[in-house]
Amino acid sequence: MKILSVSELTKYIKDKFEKDFFLSNLWVKGEISNLKLHSSGHIYLTLKDKDSSLKIVMFRSRARRLLFRPENGMSVIIQGYLSIYERDGTYQLYAEAMEPDGIGALYIALEQLKQKLAAQGLFDKTRKKDIPRVPNVIGIVTSPTGAAIQDMLNIIRRRWPQVQIIVAPVLVQGEGAPASISGGIGQMNRLGAVDVLIVGRGGGSLEELWAFNTEVVAMAIANSKIPVISAVGHETDFTVADMVADLRAPTPSAAAELVVPDCNEVGRYLDTLEKRLVNGMGNYLERARQKVKGYLSTPSLQRPFLITGNRQQTLDMLINNLHRNGQLCLAEKTTNLVNLAGKLNVLSPLATLARGYGICTTNKGEIITNADNVEIGQSVEVILHKGNILCQVEEKRVRELD
């Protein structure tokens, strides 16, 4: 009897598993639980049904190909091979691919991305930029070989020949398409001279249009400083790029019609404006002509000298009245002044002095009206009509008033 070590037994069982053709390519259906998205990029989970559970590991090289994000409780179908994890001695399924059970992976991935971008506000109307009405330079990010680019070029040049068009040739389907489209949008933004961008391609299946449902393209459109018109597929096709773009065109041809005006329509509109301007100016001039004609028929313009003569006559009368009234007023004021001067002269102390009276004051200029207000020997000054007299009091005589 041979005694085996744990490692030997584990390797033996592992070798049996790996040589079993049935176990090398399995498809297993179940519900995800204990999901762990490791920082290394590996995915660890348990797949279970109502009776059993199975450990699953999906390495980063396989996990990066997933179009959707696995979640706990999601029913999935996993393809892979069964083997033994030697360290723990447990068997587990090494996943090569994973698909949602019942709903396609592309649909799941699309809904998950929509929810993520909506939460970031990338679909909000408030963040959308206005599309210029008459751009000078148009950038187109699309495949250089498809029919869509030729349709857009023909329509734009027919509608507005003077516009400049810059094409960024990119992949529009396949594994490298999202990075290529994102790079084309970034390149257009770095040019700095582009007024508006058209990003899109012709019609195709959901898989062929999938590059426009990726996060990298959505973020490139959202971060573009240039307004973006999304033009992907047919009218019934609706992608994430359409939802993030500043304007959605149902087809590339429709985008070409939306991005520039029709020069023929603009010419007809300008002709209409010209006619309206000519008619409006003619009506304005006719009204002005009638108004001037009305002014010329008024008496003031037909006989202007009559009006100025009457005005001059009135002015002369006013001047004469002003002189006459001024002289009367001056004579009246002069008479009043003489009367007031006479009355003032009667009350003036100078008139009293002229009649022989005097005013006696102290050396301080105070008027003396009572003999009791001076002392014997005090110097006083007597003001006369003409001149002053300096005196000295020798005697006081007090007179009693009746």
Beta-sheet strands, E only, within 101-187: 137-142, 164-169
**pTM, whole model, 2 decimals?**
0.55
What integer pLDDT is reported at residue 304 of this predicted model?
Answer: 66
Q: How confident is the model at residue 239 (pLDDT cuts 50, 70, 90)?
A: very high
The answer for residues whose C-beta is within 8 angstroms of residue 80's C-beta and 6 or more apart is: 26, 28, 56, 58, 93, 94, 95, 96, 97
Contact indicator for 47, 73 with CB cutoff of 8 Å: no
Who wins on pLDDT, 318 or 215?
Answer: 215
User: What CATH class does 111-261 carry?
Assistant: alpha beta
- The 10s digit of each residue's pLDDT in 305-335 is 666 766 777 887 888 888 888 888 888 888 8
Of 138, 222, 140, 217, residue with least CA distance to 180: 217
Closest C-alpha to 255, from 263, 245, 265? 245
What's the pLDDT score for residue 45?
94
Say which residue, 184 or 146, is predicted with more confidence. 184
The residue extents of the domains of the chain are 6-102, 111-261, 353-392
Q: Which residue has the tokens 């002053």?
A: 388
Q: Bridge partners of 141?
A: 168, 199
Q: What are the helix (H) ranges across 229-360?
A: 240-244, 252-259, 263-296, 299-302, 304-347, 349-354
Contact of 83 with 14, CB cutoff 8 Å: yes
pLDDT above 60 for 402 = no
**Distance, first Cα to last Cα, the chain:** 177
DSSP state of 367: B
| Mean pLDDT across 104-132 | 88
Confidence of residue 347 (pLDDT cuts 50, 70, 90): low
- 252 — phi, psi (to 5°)? -60, -40
Q: Is the pLDDT of residue 204 over 80?
A: yes
In the predicted structure, residue 13 carries a pLDDT above the cut 70: yes
CA 183/CA 45 separation, integer angstroms: 35
* pLDDT, average across residues 54-66: 91
pLDDT recorded at residue 89: 84
Q: Residue range 88-94: average pLDDT?
A: 89
Q: What is the mean pLDDT of the chain?
A: 87
pLDDT tier for residue 384 given thresholds of 50, 70 and 90: confident
Q: Is the pLDDT of residue 104 over 70?
A: no
> What's the rounded mean pLDDT across residues 80-99?
89
- 163 within 8 A of 137, measured Cβ to Cβ: yes
> If one looks up domain 6-102 in CATH, what number appears?
2.40.50.140
Alpha-carbon distance values, 89 to 6, 25, 86 (Å): 9, 21, 5
The neighbour count for residue 209, using CB atoms within 10 Å, is 24
Residue 383, Ramachandran bin (φ over 0: left; ψ between -120 and 50: alpha; else beta) = beta
Query: Do 6-102 and 111-261 agree at the fold level?
Result: no
pLDDT of 187 strictly over 60: yes
Better pLDDT: 360 or 344: 360
pLDDT for residue 400 is more than 70: no
Query: Which residues, including other chains, have CB under 8 Å from residue 121's CB and lie 6 or more apart?
Result: 127
